[in-house]
Amino acid sequence: MTLYEQIGDQFKQAMKSGDVTGRSVLVMLKSAITNKAIEKKKKDAPVSDEDVMDAVVSEIKKRRDSAAQYKTAGRDDLAKKEEEEIAVLMRFLPPQLSESEVRTMIADAITKTGAATAKDTGKVLAALTGQMKGRTDMSAVAKIVKEKLSE
C-alpha cells in the first residue's frame, strides 16, 4: 500500500470515528500533495511516496514554526493544537532517528566530505539529506553540523 493510500485510509477512519483534528489535518495534507503534483505537472500521474513524504515534512515544518510562534505569544492553547496536528502527520513518516544516531551520521558525513569549517556546512547537509529525509528535523541537524564545524 502506498503512502498516499495509507493517508486515504486514515482519512476514512477519521471520518468514521469523528476525529475532527485528524480529518482536518488529512484534508490539508491531501491538498498539499495535490498542489505538489500540480507544481511538478504530474496532476493525473500517481503520486510517489517521495512526493508524499516531502509534503508531510513540509506540513510538519509549518506546524512546528506556528507552534513556536504561538508559544512565544503566550497562546499555549493554539500551540497545543499545532502539536496535536504534528502527531497526526508523524504517523506517515518512517521511524525517527535518535540524537545519538544523528550525531554519528553527522560525524561520518563530516569525515567523508572532508569538511573543516562552517563554510562547508552545505556539503555536509547535502550528504545527509538523502539518508535523513523524513527521519529527523533537518533544521536541528543543520544546527548540530554548524556546531561541530565551528569547534
Contacts of 38 (CB under 8 A, 6+ apart): none
**Start-end of CATH 1.10.10.410 domains in the chain:** 99-149
Instruction: Give the pLDDT of the chain (151 residues) as one tens digit per residue.
Output: 889 999 999 999 999 999 999 999 999 999 999 888 888 776 666 788 888 898 999 999 999 999 999 999 999 999 999 999 999 999 998 888 998 999 999 999 989 988 888 888 889 999 898 888 888 888 889 999 998 888 7
User: What distance, in Å, lies between the first and last C-alpha atoms of the chain?
Assistant: 45
CATH of 99-149, picked from 3.20.20.80, 1.10.1060.10, 3.20.20.70, 1.10.10.410, is: 1.10.10.410
**Start-end of CATH 1.10.1510.10 domains in the chain:** 3-90
Superfamily of chain region 3-90:
Uncharacterised protein YqeY/AIM41, N-terminal domain (1.10.1510.10)
Q: Does the pTM exceed 0.85?
A: no
Three-state SS at 88: helix
CB 128 within 8 A of CB 106: yes
